[in-house]
Amino acid sequence: MRSIASAIFISLLIAAGVLAQEQASVAIHSRRVLDVRGGTATEGYVVVRGDRIVSIDRSAPGGVRVIELGDATVLPGLIDCHVHLEADWNDFSATSNLRRSSAEKTLDGLQNAQTYLQRGFTTVRDAGTTDPAYDTIALRNAFARGKFAGPRVFAAGIPISVTGGHADLNPLAADVPMVKFPNIADTPDEVRVAVRHDLRNGVDWIKLMATGGVLDTLSNYNVQELSDEQMKAAVEVAHRAGRKVMAHAEGTAGIAAAVRAGVDSIEHGTVLDEETAQLMAERGTWLVPTLETFQRGVEMGLTSGQEPIMLEKGKAILRYQQPAFERALRHHVKIAFGLDDEPKFTTREFSALVTAGLTPLQALQTATTNAASLLGVDAGVLESGKLADVIAIDGDPLKDVKALERVVFVMKGGVVVRQR
């Protein structure tokens, strides 16, 4: 009996060893493994077991499969904190959202999400849908379950807005009836109901429209839309439920009110003043500046359905962008990457950040260490214990951020989704 028990025990040990070997089955080798904190690149092997990084070794580990990437720059998977997965980026007209079904929006979202992943973005935060059926929550769950290849998604619902505000999705004439969407809230109590509606449907973030915007025909980006009391109510309910709050805020008054209310991130911040920049720094409020989307909006002119009033607002607000960004830099406001545009333009946002005053390393950090901190995701750096989100670039992004266009390898959570 002892010999049988011993044999079983030995077999179990062998099986456990085989399983461990299978789990620790890959090492990614490059002569340029980038430390995005310090900005140095050295030769190394990124050893992965399951969905985690085990170690960064100087020499080849034994008993594992090696993925050879040569001189490609290996770095953490990128993170975009302001995407709209379901968007049809070829139609900016006021009625675009009303002409697409929930099913069509979901399919557009799947396509956009997979484009992000192929371009090296292994995590994204969706900054608001137009679908009351919560298409982005369905996509998030499908990606998490492995039904489709896609990035890790943190998602909001339809942004909470006042009637006639930047996320009032009814552009129709007064005598054309339309069902009221659940994101419309004109009192603090209605905001609480809208937040709870989002929470019930599984959102990760609450999105508020603190001010008007550019890409609509109804609102004024300088006008504070949700009141101080409404935003405080939203933050109270969301934080009590363990969720964070982002606020679309372009005009100065709305930015300041959102920061005072305790939101976790300001989206755009295009007319940020000195006093509010200082307040953001003191409170640790993040800024996701989305520089490129405003710049391209003006370049587009009256194409892709952009309407004259949208273009007029885009031209007017653009002159505030650079001074506001410089104020954020002077006060050391925390900055995270956000495109807010079609995913094929990701490289343009890196270039815009550098043109606005960041070094290439700092621009890269906005989409790695900084973004990971904002979202609370265990990624953004190549270190033992972190999620195995690893990408490789043909070129040196610290010399030219446009090299980030040339993605040659993508691993998300230990699974290779792109190689050359």
The DSSP result for 161-223, as a single string, is: B-TTSTT----S-TTS--PPPTTB--SHHHHHHHHHHHHHTT-SEEEEE-B--SSSSS--TTS
- Tokens 């419309």 belong to residue: 184
180 is known as an active-site residue: no
Contact 232, 258 (CB under 8 A): no
Cα–Cα distance list, 204 to 70, 91, 134, 307, 359 (Å): 38, 27, 12, 32, 31
H or E segment at 323? helix 308-330
DSSP annotation of 420 reads -
Contact 287, 280 (CB under 8 A): yes
313 is known as an active-site residue: no
Q: Which of 207, 232, 244, 313 is catalytic?
A: 207
Tokens found for residue 58 = 């100087």
Q: Encode 38-92 in three state secondary structure.
A: CCEEEEEEEEEECCEEEEEECCCCCCCEEEECCCCEEEECEEEEEECCCCCCCCC
DSSP annotation of 98 reads G
Number of H helices, E strands in the chain: 12, 15
Q: Which of 340, 341, 389, 412 is catalytic?
A: 340
H or E segment at 314? helix 308-330
Tell me the catalytic residues.
Answer: 207, 340
